[in-house]
Amino acid sequence: MVPFDKIVTEDFMPAIQKGIEEAREEILAISSSIDPATFENTIERLEASGELLDRVSNVLFNLNSAETSDALQQVAQQASAVLTAFQNEINLNKDLFQRVNAVYQLPGILNEEQQMLLEKTYKSFVRSGAALNEKVQIRFKEITVALASLSLKFGENVLAETNRYELIIEREEDLSGLPEDLIARAKSLAVSKEAKAHWVFNLQAPSYIPFMENAENRNLRKRLYTAFMQKALTPGPYDNRKLVHELVKLRAELAELLGYKTYAAYVLEERMAVSPLSVSIFLEDLLIKSKNKAADEVNELNVFMKSCGADHELQRWDWSYYAEKLRKKKFDFDDELIKPYFKLENVVAGVFKTTEKLFGLTFKENDAIPVYHPDVKAFEVWEGDELKALLLADYFPRSGKRPGAWMTSYRDQKKRGTQRVIPHISIVCNFTPSSEGSPSLLKFDEVTTLFHEFGHALHGMLANTTYSSLSGTHVSWDFVELPSQILENWCYEEECLALFAKHYITNEPMPLIYIERLKASATFHEAYATLRQISFASLDLHLHNLSYQEAQSMDSIEQLEKTIFKPFNLFPEVPDTNMSVQFSHIFAGGYAAGYYSYKWAEVLDADAFELFQQNGIFDEETATSFKHHVLSQGGTQLPMKLYKAFRGSEPKVDALLKRAGLLVT
């Protein structure tokens, strides 16, 4: 495992330079070989090169997301430029590409996994500028280095803005409606910051979301919502508006250099969706099927709000508050009712038990494994008497951790001869922490988030491929969410909830009536949620489907975003707010031209879970088939081939529409 207890920030750049030296020698040995190029002496040796460099850079950038500092961010910026330049050195190495191309032209004598590695290696060179002339390659290098630096800076700005804002409350009456555990955490935060106020709330999800759902003080809800939507928008050192322009323009220029009309066309060529047109049709179809019902949901909430005595127009900062009230009225159910049954430790044990029943895994906590923060837990993952993986679990928000939840890898699974090299996997979340007198009790969407990220982790932990670049989550981006999203379905099943949903004081299981209400409320405001999700996907697609000329003349991001969002708007516009400048998924993550994949994967997961429902949610044969055809195979085969091998047919959108309550019969 990574020796976190021995690493200091100053170690990274020397280690990266050493890794580059070793990798450069390995690349030189391949490219200068006088032997005829073969799969073994070129493609496999290239795949195996740079192991130290990969290890060090994985640690650096994972820590920069989960436990960063000003010093580490500076190193990450420096390393990003150096690593991008070195990757360009490899991708634009004429002698190396000549050998790769020679192998690519050889008659097919490879097995399926070898053929996939060859094709991906060849395409990665071509898509990284290997076939460009030298003059164009110079500009290509400049763009890639700039993009790497700008993406890092974008994410750092969002994190800084998230950490910077505080809603300070001094009057107890302003806490009306808020849950006791949230108030206790806000009081603890005020004490830790030595604030003059009695309570401090912030933009971290465990503070922001329950505040918006429960605070009776409408003006405070408006202040917090506005602050959330102004992150990285106001003038100053963390303003992301110029970065958005630069990222969009540079991506469009890079695509044009490579012969593509748009960056989206470049990206989607290697996805299940294939083209921007197919994604556009997919999103338009969902818009047609969801917008009218979403409008009905908004109208229903507006009527309900008026019935509660409100004399104002329904605004965005009212949505969560009145939605929670309406959900409680319609289903006699809310998050506060069931939170006592979702103590974090119990939920973690539940996801462990779920994966044990499905895939035969057991988890053993090991305090001897080094971790990067005292909150992080380390586990050995066993399948029978075989050690399958190491797992780190990091649950709570910190100032050095970016918002959201994600799975990542410190080392991918691969094989050396007949030996399986085990993966080192990590899940990182920002869950509701404990407070004085109360343990960490999760909201239900935090429960589903844990199952979601654990689905990604299973994809990495159960990988069983020869090559690390085809292992685990190294699959088409619109296929990578299938393992994560399908696992969320178990959270709604009585047989699964019985494993862990127990009251944290009495240990009584969650009453069946609560489970029935939970399932009944599962489609509550699903049309609006769908509309919101596809609005973000449409924003992403539009920004990355601009030609280079269109990107150069792009309007202000504020005005452009308003135009893009217009078909989706069901609320009055909120001035001086913006989504794009905080859209880390597409500007600091890997989702550029790929945000649609969340809904795309929902089609896959709804269709796939139907088979589990038919056969039993813990049916051994079905789980083994999913493990064999999806979780263990990584990117060794085309996604649709893997899916059909499991399901027996291509996915049908009807399963998603039925689950979401959008299917018209």
**HSE value, Cβ hemisphere, 13 Å, CA-based, for 374:** 0
Amino acid in the structure at residue 456: H
- Give the torsion through C-alpha atoms of 270, 272, 273, 274, to 10 deg: 40
- The total number of residues written for the chain in this structure: 665
Q: Hey, what are 144's tokens?
A: 């890639």
Q: How many CB atoms lie within 10 A of CB 89?
A: 15
Taking CA 483 as the corner, what is the angle to CA 481 and CA 485, rounded to the nearest 5 degrees?
60
At which residue do the structure tokens 């100032």 appear?
399
Beta-strand (E) ranges in 251-314? Answer: none
The residue among 539, 656, 566, 662 whose CA lies nearest residue 292 is: 662
Residue spans of beta strands (DSSP E) within 402-516: 406-411, 414-416, 419-421, 424-428
Annotated catalytic residue 495: no
Phi-psi region of 50 (alpha: psi -120 to 50; beta: other; left: phi over 0): left
Catalytic residue among 213, 297, 446, 453: 453
Q: How far apart are CA 341 and CA 334, in angstroms?
A: 13
The SS3 call for residue 657 is: helix
* CA 78 to chain centroid: 25
Q: Which residues pair with 438 in a beta bridge?
A: 435
Contact 372, 66 (CB under 8 A): yes
CB 615 within 8 A of CB 496: no
d(CA 125, CA 116): 14
Angle at 405 between CA 403 and CA 407, to 5 degrees: 135
Instruction: List residues with catalytic annotation.
Output: 453
